[in-house]
Amino acid sequence: MNTGSRRRGSDPRAGAGSRAESPALIADGAARREDLAYLAAQLYYLQDETMEAIARHLDVSRSTVSRLLKHARATGLVNISLQPRGAGADALSRRFHQLFGVRAHVVAVREGATDVQRLENVAQVAGALVSNWMAPGQVLGVAWGTTTSAVVHHLVPKRAPGSAVVQLNGAANPLTSGIPYAGSIMAAAAEAFDARVHHFPVPAFFDYPESKAVMWRESSVRRVLEEQRRVNVALFGVGALSGPLVSHVYAGGYLAPGEVEQLRRERVVGDVCTVLLREDGTFADIAMNARATGPTPPELRRLERRICVVAGTAKVSPLLGALRAGVATDLVVDETTARAVIERAG
């Protein structure tokens, strides 16, 4: 990924100390801030200076430099772009398009990277893509989860007047309301684009299909469902039912142990937006889906752009199921997982 020269974020070479704000920075107002933001961005992105060095050069604190760089991105002084990949990534992307009809953005990750590092690299690319696609008046749909939580913290701030962020699936379970967890993800996405938020205050899974049918008739729920149908960009990951990294929906009290065992007997490998899937992409005859609150694959396919973000080979089977169900137009995936999916599909 090309950010105008290098990766954003904290610089390990930068010192931890900071100095007092310059009175001139406060006194000169907006024009002075624009000049400083431009200079800070030039030094950081084009000349590869550290934040500490820029702070000394401008006679401001390191935290002020961070704010200036954020302002430069938000106002368009700095634009994030993705450059063409190498031959290996291109070949994988073409294969994904041939097999599943998706645009695959394959992320190279250094050998020996941890699962956390792998997710961070993938989330950075996904965050830049989503930010590029967002525009005034558009609606971003977000399904909560560990992956989307990482992605929203890598969104590039930009003003998108009249835009909205809508929660795609319920988050409550028998133990918690789910509001703090899902709400923090929606809030981070909304802050990046100065957008309004539409929460979805329903359980991840209802106890009974009849309960869902009743709630779906409520005007407050219908309003959120209508907003979901207006989504221009949908952001979601895939959940894994089994393996070393069992997804939050299966490990966080959303389902009873007996229900998880029943899903295994039904050959369920994971979910998208809490809608359960088999590796072959089937989902309609899985009984628990009548209680799920996320959009089904056919409902997702009606949306203009759907970006699926996946990191880690533990998610090969559920990702294969998601691709076969046709839920995504775009896929952001690390190279190791991409190769494993192609091998398993073949």
Tens-place pLDDT, residues 220-255: 999 999 999 999 999 999 999 876 665 767 766 788
| CA dihedral angle for residue 289, residue 290, residue 294, residue 299, rounded to 10 degrees | 100
Instruction: Clarify whether residues 110 and 132 are in a common domain.
Output: yes
CATH assignment of the domain containing 239: 3.40.50.1360
Q: Which of 26, 48, 81 marks a domain boundary?
A: 81
Instruction: Clarify whether residues 204 and 179 are in a common domain.
Output: yes
Q: What is the mean pLDDT of each run of 10 residues along the chain (346 residues)?
A: 41 42 53 84 78 89 89 79 60 94 92 86 94 95 94 92 96 71 93 96 94 96 97 96 70 80 94 96 96 97 97 95 98 96 94
Q: Which of 52, 81, 110 marks a domain boundary?
A: 81
Instruction: Clarify whether residues 1 and 61 are in a common domain.
Output: yes
Distances (CA, A) of 59 to 30, 35, 49, 171: 17, 14, 15, 46
Q: Which of 81, 112, 142 marks a domain boundary?
A: 81
**129-153 pLDDT tens trace:** 999 999 999 999 999 999 999 999 9
Instruction: Clarify whether residues 112 and 162 are in a common domain.
Output: yes
Count of structural domains within the chain: 2
C-beta of residue 331 within 8 angstroms of C-beta of residue 323: yes
Instruction: Clarify whether residues 229 and 257 are in a common domain.
Output: yes
Give which of 158, 154, 183, 187 is closest to 170, Cα–Cα.
183
Identify the domain containing residue 21 by its residue range. Answer: 1-81
Instruction: Clarify whether residues 242 and 200 are in a common domain.
Output: yes
Predicted TM-score (pTM) of this structure: 0.76
Instruction: Clarify whether residues 113 and 72 are in a common domain.
Output: no
Instruction: Clarify whether residues 193 and 234 are in a common domain.
Output: yes
Instruction: Clarify whether residues 212 and 150 are in a common domain.
Output: yes
Distances (CA, A) of 106 to 84, 132, 320, 336: 11, 17, 15, 9
CATH assignment of the domain containing 46: 1.10.10.60
Instruction: Clarify whether residues 173 and 115 are in a common domain.
Output: yes
For residue 221, which phi and psi values (nearest 5 degrees)?
-75, -40
Instruction: Clarify whether residues 142 and 219 are in a common domain.
Output: yes
C-beta of residue 13 within 8 angstroms of C-beta of residue 50: yes
Instruction: Clarify whether residues 29 and 123 are in a common domain.
Output: no
N-term to C-term CA, the chain? 29
